């Protein structure tokens, strides 16, 4: 009789365990919270290729839509140094820049994806809609393109040419 009770107890525990494990795969939440290892992992982010200090300074800015116009845009950006765009260090180690259509600068992070692309944007996974992809940077000329197709269509590829020495 005692064996029968133990067998029933183990059977009940097994059925209960299966029922709880089904909760994590059927979209029903377990009353005990997520099971260990069932939490979605955050998107992979690689170490940033560039440091915020490399971008701090004053920049002439212009943009272009066609790759054949890049040289002309760089020349126009150099001429904008009299009205330079400042990129300052942010309070949390990022850089202070503007989002599209925003009047005030906010802190942006430099973040890299595991695919090797580098972005500047607000906190969040690399390649978000508010990010700009760094298409090239040699220390003196920085080219950025918005990830958001609407912003990319309106602003094109932004070219920043350093005005004077690095900060």
DSSP structural state of residue 99: P
7-24 residue pLDDT tens: 544 454 444 444 444 444
The mean predicted confidence, pLDDT, of the chain is 82
Instruction: State if pTM tops 0.85.
Output: no
pLDDT at 75: 97
156 touches 63 (CB < 8 A)? yes
What per-residue confidence (pLDDT) applies to 24? 45
Tens-digit pLDDT profile for residues 61-112: 999 999 999 999 999 999 999 999 999 999 999 999 999 889 999 999 999 9
* Residue count of the chain: 167
What are the tens digits of pLDDT across the range 144-167? 999 999 999 999 999 999 998 665
Closest CA to 116 of 14, 47, 33: 47
**pLDDT tens digits, residue range 32-73?**
555 555 555 444 556 677 899 999 999 999 999 999 999 999
Tell me what pLDDT residue 20 has: 45
């Amino acid at each position: 009789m005692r064996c029968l009770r133990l067998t029933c107890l183990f059977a009940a525990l097994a059925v209960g365990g299966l029922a709880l494990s089904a909760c994590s795969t059927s979209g029903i939440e377990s009353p005990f919270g997520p099971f260990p290892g069932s939490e979605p992992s955050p998107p992979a982010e690689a170490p940033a290729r560039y440091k915020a200090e490399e971008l701090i300074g004053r920049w002439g800015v212009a943009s272009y839509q066609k790759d054949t116009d890049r040289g002309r845009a760089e020349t126009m950006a150099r001429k904008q140094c009299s009205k330079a765009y400042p990129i300052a260090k942010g309070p949390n180690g990022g850089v202070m820049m503007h989002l599209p259509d925003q009047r005030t600068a906010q802190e942006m992070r430099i973040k890299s994806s595991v695919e090797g692309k580098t972005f500047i944007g607000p906190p969040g996974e690399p390649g978000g809609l508010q990010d700009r992809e760094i298409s090239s940077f040699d220390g003196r000329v920085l080219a950025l393109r918005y990830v958001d197709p609407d912003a990319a269509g309106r602003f094109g590829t932004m070219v920043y040419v350093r005005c004077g020495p690095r900060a």
